[in-house]
Amino acid sequence: MKKTVKVVAAIIVNDQNEILCALRSPEMSLANHWEFPGGKVEKDEDIYSALAREITEELGCTVETEKEVFNEHTHEYDPFMVNLLSIKCKIIQGTPTAREHAKLIWLKRNNLESLKWAPADLPAVTQLIHEEKVFSD
């Protein structure tokens, strides 16, 4: 049986209701695919702390997360399985900078389909496109 890696992804929404999309760099696996930024959950780390840590490391900014998982999906890649937990959040300090990714862009929900997404991210993308409202009140 393949190893399952728990990964968190940030669905970062700005004041214009645009969502941050990150292009995987040529050095990364799944190069030139788009994803929601994030990374692996470390041993004994909760998913919200992991996401905040990953965003600080990858984008150089601080986020506040919603306290519920927006989308959870397990995807099988050749070498392993990814259990991806996508969580909505907003930036509370700093400006996202592509430290590991090739590029960052902000897109409206209805434009998300125009990108070539990493397979594990597709269920969250589909859910976002069909959602009535980006953030709950």
| Portion of the chain with pLDDT greater than 70, in percent | 96
The pTM for the full model equals: 0.91
* Contact between residue 87 and residue 70 where contact means Cβ atoms under 8 Å apart: yes
Mean pLDDT score, 2-8: 93
* Contact between residue 69 and residue 87 where contact means Cβ atoms under 8 Å apart: yes
Per residue in 7-18, is it b (16+ CB within 10 Å) or e — as a string? bbbbbbbeeeeb
Structural domains in the chain, sorted by start: 4-130 (3.90.79.10)
Q: How far apart, in whole angstroms, are the C-alpha atoms of residue 13 and residue 129?
A: 13
For 135, list phi and psi in degrees, rounded to 5: -120, 140
